[in-house]
Amino acid sequence: MKHVSHWIDGAEVRGEGRTGEIYNPATGEVTGQVAFATVAEVDAAVEAAKRAFPAWRDTSLVKRSKILFAFRELVDKHRDELAALISSEHGKVHSDAMGEVARGLEVVEFACGIPHLLKGGFSENVSTRVDSYSIRQPLGVVAGITPFNFPAMVPMWMFPIAIACGNTFVLKPSEKDPSASIFLAELWRQAGLPDGVFNVVQGDKVAVDRLLEHPDVRAVSFVGSTPIARYVYEKATAHGKRVQALGGAKNHMLVLPDADLDLAADSAVSAGFGSAGERCMAISVVLAVDPIGDALVEKIVERTRRIVVGPGDDPASQMGPLVTAAHRDKVASYLDIAVDEGAKIVVDGRTTPVRGGRGNGFWLGPTVIDHVTPGSRVHREEIFGPVLSIVRVRSYEEGIRIINSGEYGNGTAIFTNDGGAARRFQNEVEVGMVGINVPIPVPMAFYSFGGWKASLFGDTHVHGTEGVHFYTRGKVVTSRWLDPSHGGVNLGFPTNS
């Protein structure tokens, strides 16, 4: 049975505190133990990062970029192994895991351009013989607290940019699937990253709270549920830290009557059930505008019933299990809630066949619920699983009103062939990321990811230029250098007197 440790100052540290169990979600079997960091172990990681900071801050941008390029090549070389590790602990199918690694690599590639990204501005002669210029400098020790659903991608949304900017980093990954973080730490070592620049502390609330209150941690990045995002934001800012905390979502897809219904159905199914719906950008509500509701639901149901559910390491599987038994049970409970609220279950994931049998795995197949009432619990609450709700609406105006009245503002999509309607939608909808005939509008790495309302606490999104700004602070220098006419050094050629 494997034991997943911490990574402090360039080496694995087994850990002396409590441990947690690691499961294979497809079988329900315990496959390992993960160390839970004590306060002293978190302090050791922060101290290692603090010691490493001055030398790393002063490392040239070209040298930093060279190490990032080497890390990028190593992750790319080992992406299959990393994806297999993710599948074994999270449960997602191999293709989903490979996609996760690919999206994380995009941010690494973006961070490789740090010499350009950190260029400042210069103004000559702002006053007589006075110049002004701006520079951006790293903060120091920064921390990332990341969720179970993307154990490689979300950390790679944070640490490549933080490290490229000259900071040192302490990662606290999810205790449910912790192995990817140690795998990445080893690749950083092979890439030539100095000891202490990247550290990992495994654990639970004890480790989280210590990072949030530690006086040497300058900034905290977080991705997870809205209640925890709010807690992280409030506690960390109370201790004087810069915070970006990304919370939950309830993403809607508005389908207008002129839309290509085959494209809309394909998109709803892939966006609703990819990674078993355990992602903050999943489409969980389809708003079908009359009169295309029946036709759209028929196409969605047909496609949903063809999804092959099975273990993540089976190449034939298209959707895997949920991450834990407790989470599976919570998601499944919404099906009974839906019936009590008057909705109709048209595809019931509780009865979906599983390749190789269910065993003790954490299985719930893709589920479609029709005639969901706006404002009901199934419509309003973040379910975070393979449950797709259909809400029938009479018009574009009703659809946009439902989206904008929601608690969250992470992502949304509209499906239409009318450019004017799409342009109006992108202007009027109150969310941070918008897709037009694109169901999961996750921006490329050179743009920034993040939502509005209860989906974001803090004012800075992750990666892209906002990520660079989050991990740096600005400094403006005003300088005057006296020329030789003011009695300085004579720079002319020597002459005979």
pLDDT by residue (tens digit) across 306-317?
A: 999 999 999 999
In the beta sheet, which residues pair with residue 345? 369
pLDDT score recorded for residue 447: 94
Binned at pLDDT 50, 70 and 90, residue 490 comes out as: low
Which one of the listed residues 26, 75, 280, 368 is annotated catalytic? 280
pLDDT score recorded for residue 493: 59
- Tell me the HSE value of 296 on the side-chain side, using a 13 A CA sphere: 33
Residue 491 has pLDDT above 90, yes or no: no
d(CA 327, CA 66) in angstroms, rounded, equals 42
DSSP 280: T
Query: Where is pLDDT greater, at 494 or 123?
Result: 123
d(CA 448, CA 304) in angstroms, rounded, equals 32
Instruction: Domains for the chain: give ranges and CATH numbers.
Output: 2-247+455-478 (3.40.605.10), 251-436 (3.40.309.10)
Binned at pLDDT 50, 70 and 90, residue 489 comes out as: low
Query: Across residues 369-382, what is the average pLDDT?
Result: 98
d(CA 402, CA 415) in angstroms, rounded, equals 16
d(CA 296, CA 293) in angstroms, rounded, equals 5
pLDDT score recorded for residue 483: 76
Residue pair 212/239 in contact (Cβ under 8 Å)? The answer is yes
State yes or no: is 165 an active-site residue.
Answer: no
Residue 492 has pLDDT above 90, yes or no: no
pLDDT score recorded for residue 482: 84
State if pTM tops 0.85: yes
Identity of residue 44: A
Residue 496 has pLDDT above 90, yes or no: no
Pick the closest to residue 101 from 158, 180, 170 (CA basis).
180
Residue 488 has pLDDT above 90, yes or no: no
Residue pair 476/172 in contact (Cβ under 8 Å)? The answer is no
Query: Across residues 192-212, what is the average pLDDT?
Result: 98
Residue 484 has pLDDT above 80, yes or no: no
